[in-house]
Structure formats: C-alpha cells, structure tokens
C-alpha cells in the first residue's frame, strides 16, 4: 500500500488579520483587568478584531486567494476545500461552500471541519490522505476564526484571550523526500466541558432564554485547559516526531498553537528548543484558534525564516478536547 502513496507538501501559504486592533489598554476600560496581568499570564498585548460586516468566510477568502497565488494554482484546479473553524458564517451552508463559490473553485468538494484550535492540523491530515492516495491532486486547507463574535466581552476570564484571523495552505504532491512526514491526532471527549459554547445547537437551541443566560458565548475553565495543554502539546509533538523517525535534535522550527506564551515556552522546553526556533505571534494576535498555526507559519515564511529542507513541527490543542501534531520537511 505504501508504495502506491505519494508525498504531500505545502505549495503556498497565505494569511490575513482584520484591521481593527484591541489593545490591553482598551480592555482595561471594558473589564476589571490590567495590561500587566494579561501580559504576564498570557503574553498577549493586542489582538485583531473583525468589524461587524466581516465574517469568517471573508477572512478565509483573502487568505485562500493569497495561498493559491503563491502556490501558482488556479481556483478551478482545486479538488478539495476544507475550512477548519469553530465560528462558521452560519450553521449551514458550510463556510467552505461559501468560499468555494467566491473563489470560483467549481471543481472542488468543500466542507467545514470542527476540531476547535486543533482544526487546522486535523484539516491538513484529512487533505493529505486524499492527495497521498491520489484521489485528489490539490487541496486548500483554511484555518479561520472570528472568535470576537462568540466572545462575552464582559467576561474577563475569556475576553482578553482571543483574536480573529485566517491562514490558508495549498497542499499538493511534492518530491519524495519532502512534505508531510507524519501526523499524530487525538481527542478526549471527557474534557468536553472545559471549553464550550452551551447554547445555539440541538441540545439548547437558541431562544430568548439561552441568549439571556449568555449561552451563545465561549466558556472556559482556564486553569484546567492550561494543565492539559502543557502536557499534551509536548507529548503530541514527540509522538509525531517518533512516527516520522526523527528526534527533537532534528527540529528546526516549532510552530505551536498560540494560546499563551507560558504554554508555548513549556512545549519548547520539552523539545529543548531555544526561543529563536519557536514561531510566536500570540503577543500581536492572541489566540485565533484554528487560524493560529497557519497565520504564524505564513508570517515566518514572509520573514524569510523557513528554508527548504527545514524540519517543522506544528502542534495544537483545543476544545473537545482535541490535539494534533504534524511534522513537515519544508519544500516542494
Ligand atoms: O486554545 C485553547 C483555549 N484556551 C487556552 O489555551 C487557555 C489556557 N489557560 C490559560 O491560558 C490560563 O489559565 C489563563 C490565562 C486563562 C489564566 O491564567 P492562570 O494563571 O491559570 O490564572 P487563574 O485561572 O488561576 O486565575 C487567577 C486569578 C483569578 O482570581 P482569583 O480567583 O484567584 O481571585 C481570576 O479571577 O486571575 C483572575 N483573572 C483575571 N484577573 C485580571 C482571570 N482573568 C483575569 C483578567 N484580569 N483578565
């Protein structure tokens, strides 16, 4: 079976952040918090927030177009579009279908994937299966969120943490020794209540009552999620490396989910990586859930930090609970 598979890599990356910025100082006027508290506990200084007219598909489209252009792929060539998001434009149609129509990617199958902050890596793993098996040649995987729309701006436990943005990758066949080397995905639904939105689904359909109780907003047990994140990010990264036959000494860059600088530092320590080998944007972007990793990756590429044959470890954790790690040898 292995002989029939082909190597799959990233052909182009794009990203976008909404123009509006909310600083920690702005938040001080909204809830009982301080910039010092936010920086020391999370590393976040500011975050980009989508205006009322901007939905997840709008950010997805901008990032997706950029990724296609950089990959040199026409929208009509796409076989598959996956949008990883916890903040779709609406329950259905999928945000992926909205993006497909706007791109004119008429030959692509399209669906959304929900694995919270791990969604982008889940999406990459799914797309890779289709391409490596030769079912499809080209896929666009987008991680996009407008978390500001589901944030309770009067809850200081959560509103200081999140930001909006989108990142996208075009996946396709690459030369044999490059591309995605391994994945490690996981989930533990026993932790489902640690990070959730209780209202607006089939369990508690939207009603005046659910809105009054603010059940349409993110709720989080931060300290519990923190402990889980520190443990699972390191474990997932090491497991994915083991699956690719590599060790931590081989890693050139860690591209972690950007939830909290203390969590990122703990993972870097576990992999024994110095700060210059860790891609960080949580200070400027906050936690953008599924968008965090592709945006950070795009920024690192634009900054000229990533070179052909570099070994990258992408690692995420999130609501569900879910987690994922992907090892990539960069280049086509
Ligand atoms: O993508 C996955 C999504 N989520 C995460 O990754 C979050 C993971 N968790 C975290 O990043 C951290 O747990 C937080 C940053 C959310 C909180 O940091 P912490 O060091 O775990 O603080 P804590 O939850 O233990 O809270 C300490 C105190 C509490 O006060 P009391 O009860 O000790 O009096 C909170 O009420 O800090 C208080 N607090 C705040 N104070 C000022 C919570 N939020 C704020 C705030 N400003 N914004």
- Closest ligand 1 atom to residue 259 Cα is 6
Q: What is the mean pLDDT of residues 37-60?
A: 98
Q: pLDDT value at position 190?
A: 97
Give DSSP secondary structure letters for 172-232: EE--TTSEEEEEEEEE-GGGGGGEE--SSSSSS---HHHHHTTTTS-EE-HHHHHHHHHHH
Ligand 1 centre and the CA of 157: distance in Å? Answer: 6
Ligand 1 centre and the CA of 241: distance in Å? Answer: 31
Ligand 1, from 145, 188, 222: best to mutate by most atoms within 8 Å of Cβ?
222
Residue 310 has pLDDT above 90, yes or no: yes
- 277 token code pair: 């080998």
Residue 2 has pLDDT above 70, yes or no: no
Q: Can you count the helices (H) and strands (E) in the chain? A: 11, 13
Q: pLDDT value at position 56?
A: 98
Ligand 1 centre and the CA of 160: distance in Å? Answer: 10
- Closest ligand 1 atom to residue 160 Cα is 48
- Could you tell me the domains of the chain? 8-176 (3.40.47.10), 180-329 (3.40.47.10)
Q: How is residue 153 annotated by DSSP?
A: T
Q: Could you report the per-residue pLDDT of 97-120, keeping only the tens digit for each?
A: 999 999 999 999 999 999 999 999
- What band does 3 get if pLDDT is binned at 50, 70 and 90? low
More confident of the two residues 188 and 1: 188
Residue nearest to atom 6 of ligand 1 (CA): 259
Q: Could you report the per-residue pLDDT of 213-252, keeping only the tens digit for each?
A: 999 999 999 999 999 999 999 999 999 999 999 999 999 9
Cα gap 59→61, rounded to integer Å: 5
* Strands (DSSP E) found in the chain: 8-16, 21-23, 46-48, 80-84, 109-113, 139-146, 164-173, 179-187, 195-196, 219-220, 253-256, 311-318, 322-329
Q: pLDDT value at position 5?
A: 86
Ligand 1, from 151, 163, 226: best to mutate by most atoms within 8 Å of Cβ?
226
Query: Alpha carbon of 100 to those of 57, 64, 77, 139, 289: distances in Å?
Result: 10, 10, 12, 12, 22
Asked if 261 is an active-site residue, the reply is no
Q: pLDDT value at position 4?
A: 73
Residue 1 has pLDDT above 50, yes or no: no
Asked if 117 is an active-site residue, the reply is yes
DSSP SS3 for 8: strand
Percent of the chain with pLDDT over 70: 99
Residue 329 has pLDDT above 50, yes or no: yes
Q: What is the mean pLDDT of residues 22-36?
A: 98
Q: Could you report the per-residue pLDDT of 168-195, keeping only the tens digit for each?
A: 999 999 999 999 999 999 999 999 999 9
Which member of 24, 48, 97, 117 is catalytic? Answer: 117
The per-residue pLDDT of the chain, averaged, comes to 97
- What band does 67 get if pLDDT is binned at 50, 70 and 90? very high
Q: Could you report the per-residue pLDDT of 128-156, keeping only the tens digit for each?
A: 999 999 999 999 999 999 999 999 999 99
Q: pLDDT value at position 252?
A: 98
Q: Which residues are CB-neighbours of 240 under 8 A, at least 6 positions away? A: 182, 183, 184, 313, 315, 325, 326, 327
Q: Which residues line ligand 1 (CB under 6 A)?
A: 33, 37-38, 41-42, 117, 156-157, 160, 195, 220, 222-223, 225-226, 229, 259-260, 287, 318
Weakest-pLDDT range from 3-12, 248-257, 287-296 = 3-12
Percent of the chain with pLDDT over 90: 98
Residue nearest to atom 30 of ligand 1 (CA): 157
């Amino acid at each position: 079976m292995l002989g029939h598979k082909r190597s799959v890599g990233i052909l182009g990356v794009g990203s976008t952040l909404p123009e509006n910025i909310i600083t920690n100082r702005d938040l001080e006027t909204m809830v009982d918090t301080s910039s010092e508290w936010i920086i020391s506990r999370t590393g976040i200084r500011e975050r980009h927030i989508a205006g009322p007219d901007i939905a997840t598909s709008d950010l997805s489209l901008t990032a997706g177009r950029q990724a296609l252009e950089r990959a040199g792929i026409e929208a009509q060539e796409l076989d598959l579009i996956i949008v990883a998001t916890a903040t779709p434009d609406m329950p259905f149609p999928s945000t992926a279908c909205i993006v497909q129509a706007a791109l004119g990617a008429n030959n692509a199958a399209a669906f959304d994937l929900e694995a919270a902050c791990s969604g982008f890596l889940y999406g990459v793993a799914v797309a890779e299966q289709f391409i490596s098996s030769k079912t499809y040649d080209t896929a666009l995987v987008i991680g996009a969120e407008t978390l500001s729309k589901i944030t309770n701006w009067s809850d200081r436990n959560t509103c200081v943490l999140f930001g909006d943005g989108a990142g996208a990758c075009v996946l396709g066949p690459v030369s044999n020794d490059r591309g995605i080397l391994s994945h490690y995905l996981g989930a533990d639904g026993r932790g489902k209540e640690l990070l959730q939105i209780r209202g607006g689904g089939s369990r508690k359909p939207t009603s005046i009552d659910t809105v009054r109780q603010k059940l349409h907003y993110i709720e989080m047990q931060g300290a519990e999620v923190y402990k889980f994140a520190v443990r699972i990010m390191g474990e997932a990264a090491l497991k994915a490396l083991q699956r690719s036959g590599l060790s931590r000494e081989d890693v050139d860059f860690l591209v972690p989910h950007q939830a909290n600088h203390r969590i990122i530092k703990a993972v870097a320590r576990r992999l024994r990586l110095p700060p210059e080998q860790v891609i960080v944007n949580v200070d400027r972007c906050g936690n953008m859930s599924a968008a965090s990793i592709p945006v950070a990756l795009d920024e690192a590429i634009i900054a000229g930090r990533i070179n052909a044959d570099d070994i990258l470890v992408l690692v995420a954790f999130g609501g569900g609970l879910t987690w994922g790690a992907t090892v990539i040898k960069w280049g086509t």
